A and B are shown apart, each in its own frame.
Chain A
Amino acid sequence: MHKSVFLGMHKSIDQINERIRDGTARVVTAEEMPAIVAELGEEGALKEVDVVTTGTFGAMCSSGAFLNFGHAEPPIRMERIWLNNVEAYGGLAAVDTYIGATQQSDTREEQYGGAHVIEDLVAGKSVELRASSRGTDCYPRRTITTDLLLENLNQAIMCNPRNAYQRYNAATNSTEHVLHTYMGVLLPNCGNVSYSGAGVLNPLSNDPKLRLIGGGVPIFLCGAQGMVVGEGTQHSPAGGFGTLMVTGNLKEMSQDYLRAATMTGYGVTLYVGLGIPLPVLDIDVVRATAVRDQDIFVDLLDYGVPSRNRPALRKVSYAELRSGTIEMNGEEIHTSSLSSFRKAREVAVELKHRVESGAMQLALPTRPIDSKKPVKPMYESTKGPRVLDIMDRQVVSIGEDEEIRTAAKKLLKGETNHLPVINSDNILVGIVTTFDISKAVANPGKAHLVKDIMKKKVITTTPDEAVDIAVQKLEKNNISALPVVDGGHHVIAILTAMDLGKLFGGRWLK
């Protein structure tokens, strides 16, 4: 046949489903597709392949489940609800609740949370329900405690507001401290890089224009046949960060594709296995599903900067991230994935078998998802407290060439424990504390001048910095004061632990 015949070729979803029912559909995973397209060409691949299956398995914090317990006798309208000591949402009807994956146990904190409750239910373990109520005429009961199995519930419907991120920025840490983040443990001085995402196998990366993925589309969700509800929260396809809201029956799920996890020092999350079968309708689908790891780029962000706008250090592809090391500033840095590529592949292969065997047919979206929308930052009608709101402008500083005695007198007179040290140009060069001076007096040696005993490495803040960031600096460095400097590194004020008291009872806590 001539090439031109194929160019106009189009397969309908009905034709594809008919082949699935006949058991003649050719189903491949998104990992296999690039090689097939390279071998057969786009037209050849379109003729050959009917369905491409995708898969991903990673931490998806925005997950949870709606549960219905049925009515007790006498009945209760549950207002506060705990499952294995993890609080669940009580703002629904009498015996409905939503258990969120990241909610932590009142007793075990980050060692156990909503994700663990969900995994325990799926594993067939008994979970303790405890609830309280003020009692009403129609629901007189005040408290209830009962052990439940998943099979005892009327409904257990997983409904995840944001899953299946199209890609996710990689993380590193330029500070001198270890950071515990939702991107895992980040070693100091850019000692490692962590990343997440299935790259070549990711559902949305294989349908970036959202032609095939939308509301009503059947999916694989943690072993169950689930469905795309619509766009996920924080959906941002304009920047390549599309997300999906998905749902599925918890009772059909398997622990093989659903795991509770704890990011130490950050909190609880749920690892979700999710895959979407994509019908190969036309050349555009072939092109989209031919995407490879080396075609998908993300920013490598510095999580050492505690801001919404973390600086991007470089662009990096999933191929590089997955190779085990990436290069930065001439150095090789080891990478770690937080999501499991082996499990993502398991999802895509299992989905392939289900479609091949006729157990799952495909559908096109009944409600399309916007493929161009960007995400907005939070609108803040009032700004939180900044350093300038509470800093002490009556700062006493000392010259580096002054005698230690003079520093001691200044500390006494200024009723302070910290003296910023400045040079002849009034620029901050160090800091001395009552501790440094006591030490110098107790062990008289060669040191006479402030510059002999001062700490040269000074942690500082600026007037417009958020108080929360300054507090984190105090905590992380185990110190109790920060000199406040202007752009020229001149000391204009000081922020001490005492100034933080101004936050209480002031306008910030209203």
Chain B
Amino acid sequence: MKLLVTFSRKKGSKPIIAQVVRDTGVLINVERAIIDSSEGEALIDVPDDQCQLVRNTMISLGANVQTLEHGISVNESECVDCGACISICPREVFSLDSHWKLQLAEEKCVICGKCIEACPQQALTLPI
């Protein structure tokens, strides 16, 4: 399950992710993170059965946690199956099947949004 964790760093810089790993023993996979002097945002992937535990611990440490059920989504009526998104994606989410139709491996998506501007048909949208 993917979680989008946002936290303020104004009251010092607590190592939230490291602390959650230590306290829960769950190995967190950080897929993408932007952290600057005042705030941080990290997309993490955790096993489904430990998702609630990680979520609760994060919240108790002052983070804001959003569960992401979906990755990037494609509007089928706009998409023409060109494949412009394929080479832009850093995680190989997109591919063409044997009928040259666009396929999505949504679970690989790290919601970076790079594909959105690459789509000539404006057919791609983020879940958040």
Chain A residue contacts of B121, Cβ below 8 A:
259, 261, 271
Chain A residue contacts of B96, Cβ below 8 A:
324, 341-342
Cβ contact of A262, chosen from B86, B95, B101, B122, cutoff 8 A: B122
Known: A185-B117, A185-B118, A345-B100. A338 touches B84 (CB 8 A): yes
Chain B residue contacts of A194, Cβ below 8 A:
84, 87
CB closest chain-A residue, reference B97: A342
Docked-complex contact A264 and B117, CB < 8 angstroms? yes
A residues sitting closer than 8 Å to B (CB atoms) are 57-59, 184-185, 187, 191-194, 259, 261-265, 269, 271, 324, 333-343, 345
Cα–Cα, bound, A102→B82 (Å) = 20
Chain A CB within 10 A, most for which of B80, B85, B88, B99: B80
Docked-complex contact A185 and B81, CB < 8 angstroms? no
Chain A residue contacts of B120, Cβ below 8 A:
59, 184, 261-263, 269, 271, 338
Docked-complex contact A334 and B86, CB < 8 angstroms? yes
Cα–Cα, bound, A314→B42 (Å) = 40
How many of chain B's residues have a CB under 8 angstroms from any CB in A? 19
Cα–Cα, bound, A338→B86 (Å) = 10
Docked-complex contact A187 and B84, CB < 8 angstroms? no
Q: Mark B53-94, 1 if CB is under 8 A from A, else 0.
A: 000000000000000000000000000111111111000000
Cα–Cα, bound, A67→B80 (Å) = 27
Cα–Cα, bound, A269→B86 (Å) = 20
Cβ contact of B99, chosen from A59, A324, A342, cutoff 8 A: A342
Across chains A and B, the number of contacting residue pairs, with CB separation under 8 Å, is: 73
Docked-complex contact B87 and A335, CB < 8 angstroms? yes
Known: A192-B88, A193-B87, A336-B87. A57 touches B118 (CB 8 A): no
Docked-complex contact B118 and A342, CB < 8 angstroms? no
Chain B CB within 10 A, most for which of A191, A337, A345: A337
Cα–Cα, bound, A184→B121 (Å) = 12
A105 to chain B, nearest CB (A): 15
Known: A261-B120, A264-B118, A271-B120. A338 touches B82 (CB 8 A): yes
A388 to chain B, nearest CB (A): 37
CB closest chain-A residue, reference B122: A262
- Nearest first, the 10 A-B pairs at minimum CB distance are A192-B87, A334-B87, A261-B120, A336-B87, A342-B100, A264-B117, A185-B118, A342-B81, A340-B82, A337-B83
B46 to chain A, nearest CB (A): 29
B113 to chain A, nearest CB (A): 12
CB closest chain-B residue, reference A339: B82
Docked-complex contact A271 and B80, CB < 8 angstroms? yes
Chain B residue contacts of A57, Cβ below 8 A:
80
Chain B residue contacts of A187, Cβ below 8 A:
87-88
Docked-complex contact A336 and B100, CB < 8 angstroms? no
Docked-complex contact A340 and B81, CB < 8 angstroms? yes
Chain A residue contacts of B101, Cβ below 8 A:
342
Cα–Cα, bound, A264→B101 (Å) = 23
Cα–Cα, bound, A324→B100 (Å) = 12
Chain B residue contacts of A345, Cβ below 8 A:
100
Docked-complex contact B80 and A343, CB < 8 angstroms? yes
Cα–Cα, bound, A248→B118 (Å) = 30
Cα–Cα, bound, A193→B83 (Å) = 12
Cα–Cα, bound, A85→B92 (Å) = 39
Chain B residue contacts of A259, Cβ below 8 A:
80, 121
Chain B residue contacts of A59, Cβ below 8 A:
120
Cα–Cα, bound, A28→B11 (Å) = 71
Cβ contact of B81, chosen from A262, A265, A333, A343, cutoff 8 A: A343
Cα–Cα, bound, A339→B86 (Å) = 13
Docked-complex contact B81 and A336, CB < 8 angstroms? no
A341 to chain B, nearest CB (A): 4
B22 to chain A, nearest CB (A): 37
Chain A residue contacts of B83, Cβ below 8 A:
336-337, 340
Cα–Cα, bound, A179→B86 (Å) = 16
Chain B residue contacts of A184, Cβ below 8 A:
84, 118, 120
Chain B residue contacts of A269, Cβ below 8 A:
120
Chain B residue contacts of A335, Cβ below 8 A:
86-87
Cβ contact of A341, chosen from B84, B85, B86, B100, cutoff 8 A: B100
CB closest chain-B residue, reference A334: B87
Known: A264-B118, A269-B120. 10 other contacts (CB 8 A): A187-B87, A263-B120, A264-B117, A324-B95, A334-B86, A336-B83, A337-B82, A338-B82, A340-B80, A342-B80
Known: A261-B121, A263-B120. A337 touches B84 (CB 8 A): yes
Cβ contact of A336, chosen from B88, B99, B122, cutoff 8 A: B88
